[in-house]
Amino acid sequence: MTPDAGADGAGADGAGAPQLTVVADTGLCDGYGECVKAAPDVFSLDDDGFVVVDRPDVTDENEGRVIAAVSRCPKSALRLLADGAPVDLP
């Protein structure tokens, strides 16, 4: 997940890259669906139109799409976590 990560997933300093996960606060979700548009492999909407995180573990493959989804959410209902700690996105 970092440019300097080696084949074993460890960063250049020998420490492993943080595990990124995405979580949703369904109480904040208004069902705009921007997350599903950005990352349909990670998010879906339930029968009431609210976000469901189908794949909370962020991978190298979907990291860009997940970050886009978190950034696009008009209600800030999505959070990116690194080893369980909130990540502030620009």
Residue 14 in domain: no
Q: Tell me, what CATH number does 36's domain have?
A: 3.30.70.20
Output the pLDDT for position 16.
84
Tens-binned pLDDT, residue by residue, of the chain (90 aa): 444 344 444 444 446 889 999 999 999 999 999 999 999 999 999 999 999 999 999 999 999 999 999 999 999 999 999 999 999 998
Residue 36 in domain: yes
Domain extent, residue 81, equals: 30-86
Number of domains in the chain: 1
Residue 3 in domain: no
3-state DSSP of the chain: CCCCCCCCCECCCCCECCCEEEEECCCCCCCCCHHHHHCCCCEEECCCCCEEECCCECCCCCHHHHHHHHHHCCCCCEEEEECCEECCCC
